[in-house]
Amino acid sequence: MKADDKRIYLEDIGEIVMSRGGKDIWLVKGITRHEDFKDRCLPERIYVVDFPGRGAGEEFLLSRQACGPEKFLMIKEIGHDMIRMFERMFEGRLAQFVILWGGRPLDLLDANPPLQRPELLDTTYIKLTRVEDNAKFRGWDIVETSFVGEWWQDDTWIIMEECIASGQTLTYFVEEALDHHKPKKIFLFPVCASLEGLEGICRLCSDAGVELVPVYNGALIEVAKQGVTMPFTDLGLQPRTIITHHFYHDLKDRYQGTPLCWVGDIGDSIYKPADHLIETFSDMLAVGMDFDREDFSLWSPIMRSEHFLTRFETEHPNVFNALKRYLKP
């Protein structure tokens, strides 16, 4: 049996429950009744927003070449589009908790046009920092370093975080938040997220009697068993990463069937674009991608700046030499 035959596609376990503005909303119900997920703690209902064709959501997940302001604006556009599609499901007063810095592009106070609410949205900004601690899960502990706002006593909360990997940060936040107030619903709108990262939050919400409504962009990602210890987290090649047939075809074409991580470090891609580009080039070389098949005209112009080229050649001469003929203006 070919590896592709073992895949679970969104068409196999989900159904389109709404189409709006050229986007499809898929509903995956009872995923834990599926043989591959029966031992997992996951919500009864998980939504996936699919931007048909090579839409903005899919483009983001296949855009290792984008970084800096371009990546920030991509997250903002996708996240706000997803949120507007679910506005009718928000109950009563609405609060958003923006987890910095990843959730910053999703901040609804910066939405244009604004979310249609009768009052200014209740908003809290919180900065959570990971610090090394070998006694903790995966060698990290979470520390709250800044909190601006309050624990809003509202009916619906939106937790703004652009990426959910292990879910450690979000689980820490939700555990603390539910000690202060239990809303009726908690919504998540990550633009890139794993199923693994949902499990801790799901367990907390279930125990507290809070409805968790996760809305994913384009894919229910399964992290490899070795997770972040792998040289390359081959998200798209994992048989239990759930996407549409069309998306899977685009994914294999975009990264040439290699185990290159779809997105890399999203935080670095926004706030440390040069680091992100160097890591991406290094990864592409390591997995054996054919640079002649890559359209470098679509890449961030940062890669052709003198400052970037000097740093790249100095710090990673072997990778630079493999790429230098593609990097010049």
What single-letter amino acid sits at 57? Answer: G
Number of folded domains in the chain?
1
What confidence tier does 166 reach under pLDDT thresholds 50, 70, 90? confident
Residue 265 domain-assigned? no
- Give the Cα separation of 173 and 94 in Å (integer): 18
Tell if the pTM clears 0.85, that is, is over it: yes
Residue 16 domain-assigned? yes
pLDDT for 53-75, tens place per residue?
778 999 999 999 999 999 999 99
Which one has a higher pLDDT value, 5 or 96? 96
Residue 297 domain-assigned? no
Please tell me the predicted confidence (pLDDT) of residue 228. 45
Strand ranges (E), the chain:
14-20, 23-29, 45-50, 94-100, 122-132, 140-148, 156-160, 163-164, 185-188, 192-193, 211-217
Q: Which CATH number characterizes residue 84's domain?
A: 3.40.50.2020
- The residues with which 142 forms a beta bridge, in sequence order, are 130
Residue 269 domain-assigned? no
What does the chain come to in residues? Answer: 329
Residue 257 domain-assigned? no
Q: Which domain holds residue 77?
A: 3-235
147, 90 contact by CB (below 8 A): no
Residue 254 domain-assigned? no
pLDDT for 270-287, tens place per residue?
999 999 999 999 999 999
Residue 311 domain-assigned? no
Residue 246 domain-assigned? no
Q: How many CB atoms lie within 10 A of CB 264?
A: 19
